[in-house]
Amino acid sequence: MFKVAVLVSGGGSNLQSIIDSISTGYLKDVSIEYVISDKGDAFALERAKNAGIKTLVIERNAHKQTLSEEIYKVLKGNVDLIVLAGFLSIIKGTLLEEFKNKIINIHPSLIPSFCGKGMYGLKVHEAAINYGVKVSGCTVHLVEEDTDAGAIVLQRTVEVLAEDTKETLQKRILVEEHKALPEAIKLFSENKISVAGRHVIVKE
């Protein structure tokens, strides 16, 4: 069984896409061992509880400097992959080192555009529209110390329409996020991912 931990901060629609992908059999021999949130009121925790998944809250405000270390204590030796699904805290230290190339995040733009510190949620889509890009999308990438700087695992594109608002663009990109994140997990679970520097190679 390929064991996954999902880290969340908000509503958890990407978490739900993983839960659903396991339920439908798209993700075979994959289990979510933990859902960990840095916010006690994250609705994602309810989604996890409804699916019978073990949940844990490690409050960001209470563990400002030690959050990553606390997460590492829980996950050490217990999971094969850590998935950041709308997790807004910064991962660092031993957690990053010990799970090198085994932590992925999904970002709602085509990295390296509209990413990095302060770029999350609707801010990303607003920036894309203001810049006038014709396509945007989402990126699943490996997590490194610098925000949104890890090697790219996969990307999905969405056309940016002339009449788009940041809300309508977010909604359409979210549809692709819900496909991309389970797809990335599937590749890892089937041992089809290898990493060479900044290049992620997907085996056929």
**Assigned CATH topology for domain 106-204:** Rossmann fold (3.40.50)
Q: Say if residue 37 carries a ligand binding annotation.
A: no
Q: Say if residue 105 carries a ligand binding annotation.
A: yes
Residue 108: which of 157, 70, 38 has the closest Cα?
157
Check residue 60 and give its pLDDT: 83
Q: Say if residue 113 carries a ligand binding annotation.
A: no
pLDDT in tens, 98-152: 999 999 999 999 999 999 988 999 999 999 999 999 999 999 999 998 889 999 9
Of the candidates 63, 107, 141, 178, the residue annotated as catalytic is 107
Report the alpha-carbon angle 62-64-70, nearest 5. Answer: 80
The share of the chain scoring above pLDDT 70, in percent, equals 100
Q: How far apart are CA 147 and CA 126, in angstroms?
A: 19
Domain locations along the chain: 1-99, 106-204
pLDDT in tens, 59-96: 988 887 899 999 999 999 999 999 999 998 989 999 99
Architecture of domain 1-99: 3-Layer(aba) Sandwich (3.40)
Two domains, one topology: 1-99 and 106-204: yes
Catalytic annotation on 178?
A: no
